[in-house]
A and B are shown apart, each in its own frame.
Chain A
């Protein structure tokens, strides 16, 4: 394909404050319509906005986490347009002077085509600014009229704008996912895409390599990564077809229909609003001192990329393992809590969490926060593997029991009789009996038929009801068979 795809994203992350960005009304999702619309949300005559400090703190954290410039002085501006769910007739946003300036996010891209290798890419962030959300228009049972729910009006948003640095749907999705992980990781957004807490607008254009940027179309309000992928694929194909058929792409805002998998134009550049931005005279410029930034820096957790590097360099994990374990803060926290119990066995911890635990979570449709096994339980179990009390297969039994019924590790080992026999005398006795009962096979082994070793292990394990410590059994068998 001779076309280069160019993609930039605008992500609206709803900030996880309890109250709205310019008033005290609650931001909780799902309340009865207009029960969270106070005088300010309703834009009654005479009401005024007062900035929520918590929203600013979250913006600062985001800036720090992406190595972005944090503006010592930024300005709120009014974006003027009429719409029934925009009660003031303007949205308070930031325009010329946003709170967060240039930064970057490094992402791991797993290409969709079969044999390409994962690679790393850095996407530049242009800016991130604070603004308020609008309400919702409801077109349900209103006798042909439209209902307005202003519960969401005034909910704080951070709009994160990227440079057009992505060149495939895979890169765009990887960037969106990395951003999604990051905002949850630093605790500024709950990331709930169904509830609209994390919404993506995707700017797509195509060009021949080396040529100037093509005309872009903006796909609005994508609320799942799958739809983002589908929408970009469809849109790229549409643009390429349009140009190759002699047409021209017109700048437009478009919507993706998940049912048909198609995009369709909502409004063209010609109907673009003149928003008549100007500084909001009701709000003073937002001033952020170096001290405030440092206070926020102190509250930031170790970031996913830092953690990844540490897991590789200090714990000896593979890049792949480290990236899986840092896919969410819950995952990393879980891993580190388990690791605390068996500090020298990072790889074993990683394997159990990425393997057995993840598989069970997926099977039951749970996320890490809902995991029925505690880090303390898993840690004690791994300790029992390390100290030889149970075998790996015994551990699986313990794990399944804890998953289903809970319980304490040692009690389960006891109740299920999973304890390995590590008593040399007892194992020797079993080995002696088996050798006596299979004298012919012993002779064959001694005459060079090494393969029979597995037979003796199997017999001995069977005799011990699977409880013999395998390593110990091996040693004893080898010694005795050697004569």
Chain B
């Protein structure tokens, strides 16, 4: 049952082979056993999950069930969910019980899905290893001495360890794709604007995008059918016709043009990762695809550009956490300025503080043009590179991460090394393009390797098709960590 696809679970529920309460309870039991070691969840609330399951069973009985009705889905703790503790991985929100639902949460509620719990994450989504969480690091289910990636590391570990049927993540610079790669699962960051950001705690507003994480492309398609859609409460949400993301899954790949950016295959990638990626490309050739060599000349600037723009936006987005209205306030303080300083110094962790300071600096008088304005200009050049590339190919492929999962604490002292984990994923956010990661083999330490697939704007259905055909031909995605 824990290996079943979302479609199989839905069929079983609708056929009354299992009830949602039973299904939810078995996940809760599994979680009780495995989560203490993995630390994938910040909040579990069996009572609320089971109440939802009961309601789902009623809906199943009434014959009004949708594709995901009754299926337990875990939610990244960045999404506000009514009556749920919503911490964003931070001490700052250690006591914040949300009075409202994020758009994504309402979409799952309307679909009748079960909120199985809130998954652990890097604090305010700032991190690539899940080590910045106030609630402790998440362990990689493939090797608990290693990180699951970040910032959606709790989600990735929960999916990989079969603690939920599927889950949500968010991706600002690779936070869905990189942990998906490091935990051997599939994850999709949609085109910017496809999923509403309303109720998703902002890190860098112009880059943040919610997306699904699961065990197969097919599962991601069903998740996207629930998550995508216009929401008038988000001014950057795009008004588009509703689409069925599963519609193209079974199309053959004959004639597919895959662009391989030479910059992604230059120095920096581990040899074991390169080997797995090359094998995956060979598999695609067998499936009928042709290979096109392309160039993304400005992509090498994406890490520095990102580390100007994302902290700039974050420094402002995180100003609301001031100890005045909700969240953490220092127990003792003098005047108002002291209250702000102590509350924020105690409530935010080191990485968050570092990014607030970088962001404040680059927006400061006298530095704004040299940093922020220049970075925006380069951002447009990076996006333009992709426009040129898509004149020659249909999808772009390459590694998701330069290495497989590293050891806990390995990069803790060197933020720049940590930032380079996202070297292949960041350009996609800067351009607002959809990107995904699917498992394509294992590296030297038997840790999973992720293949990144980057599509053109709104090409999610085609990307899912490209991923699904590969998953029909290979079984990397159905491998499970041993010993669980």
Query: Which A residues contact B (CB, under 8 angstroms)?
Result: 39, 42-51, 78, 80, 82, 84, 87-90, 148, 274, 276-278, 281-284
Contact = CB atoms under 8 A, between A and B. Distances in A.
Contacts of A284: 235-236
A84 B198 contact: no
A81 to B, nearest CB: 9
Interface of B: 79-80, 86, 88, 93, 96, 98-100, 102, 197-202, 204-206, 232-236, 312-313, 315-316, 318-322, 324-326, 336, 340, 360, 363-365, 368, 372
A46 B312 contact: no
A39 B201 CA distance: 13
B235 A282 contact: yes
A282 B235 CA distance: 7
A50 B319 contact: no
A482 to B, nearest CB: 87
Nearest to A89: B319
B336 A50 contact: no
Contacts of A89: 316, 318-320, 322
Given A87-B325, A89-B322, A274-B365, A47 B199 contact: yes
B234 to A, nearest CB: 5
Contact of A44 (B80, B233, B313, B316): B80
Contacts of B326: 42, 44
Given A50-B232, A82-B319, A278-B316, A148 B324 contact: yes
B18 to A, nearest CB: 34
A468 to B, nearest CB: 74
8 contacts: A43-B325, A45-B96, A50-B233, A87-B325, A89-B322, A277-B368, A278-B368, A283-B235
Contacts of A84: 322, 324, 336
Could you say which of A39, A46, A80, A277 has the most chain B C-beta atoms within 10 Å of its C-beta?
Answer: A46
Contacts of B313: 281
B231 to A, nearest CB: 9
A46 B198 contact: yes
A249 to B, nearest CB: 23
A45 B93 contact: yes
A317 to B, nearest CB: 50
Nearest to B200: A46
A283 B235 CA distance: 6
Contacts, number: 96
Could you say which of A45, A278, A281 has the most chain B C-beta atoms within 10 Å of its C-beta?
Answer: A45
Contacts of B360: 276
Nearest to B79: A46
Contact of B206 (A43, A51, A281): A281
Could you say which of A44, A48, A87, A148 has the most chain B C-beta atoms within 10 Å of its C-beta?
Answer: A48
Contacts of A82: 319, 322, 340
Contact of A278 (B319, B340, B363): B363
A171 B372 CA distance: 42
A46 B102 contact: yes
B448 to A, nearest CB: 31
Nearest to B337: A82
Nearest to B102: A46
B235 A274 contact: no
What 7 A-B pairs have minimum CB-CB distances, sorted nearest first? A89-B319, A276-B363, A281-B206, A281-B205, A46-B199, A43-B320, A45-B201
B368 A46 contact: no
A10 to B, nearest CB: 20
A277 B366 CA distance: 12
A282 to B, nearest CB: 5
A44 B197 contact: no
A41 to B, nearest CB: 10
Given A46-B79, A87-B325, 8 more contacts: A44-B98, A82-B322, A90-B316, A148-B324, A276-B363, A278-B312, A278-B372, A284-B236
A148 B313 CA distance: 26
A84 B339 CA distance: 11
Contacts of A48: 197-198, 233-235
Contact of B86 (A45, A47, A50): A45
A107 to B, nearest CB: 36
A248 to B, nearest CB: 24
Could you say which of A39, A87, A89, A283 has the most chain B C-beta atoms within 10 Å of its C-beta?
Answer: A89
Contacts of B368: 276-278
A293 B480 CA distance: 61
B197 to A, nearest CB: 6
A90 B99 contact: no
A47 B319 contact: no
B102 A80 contact: no
Contact of A42 (B86, B205, B325): B325
Nearest to A50: B235
Contacts of B315: 80, 276
A56 to B, nearest CB: 13
Nearest to B341: A82
Nearest to B372: A278
A39 B100 contact: yes
B146 to A, nearest CB: 30
A282 B196 CA distance: 11
Contacts of A283: 235
A45 B100 contact: no
B194 to A, nearest CB: 16
Could you say which of B99, B197, B322 has the most chain A C-beta atoms within 10 Å of its C-beta?
Answer: B322
A282 B363 contact: no
Contacts of A90: 316, 319
B235 A39 contact: no
Could you say which of A90, A278, A283 has the most chain B C-beta atoms within 10 Å of its C-beta?
Answer: A278
A78 B320 contact: no
Contacts of A278: 312, 316, 363, 368, 372
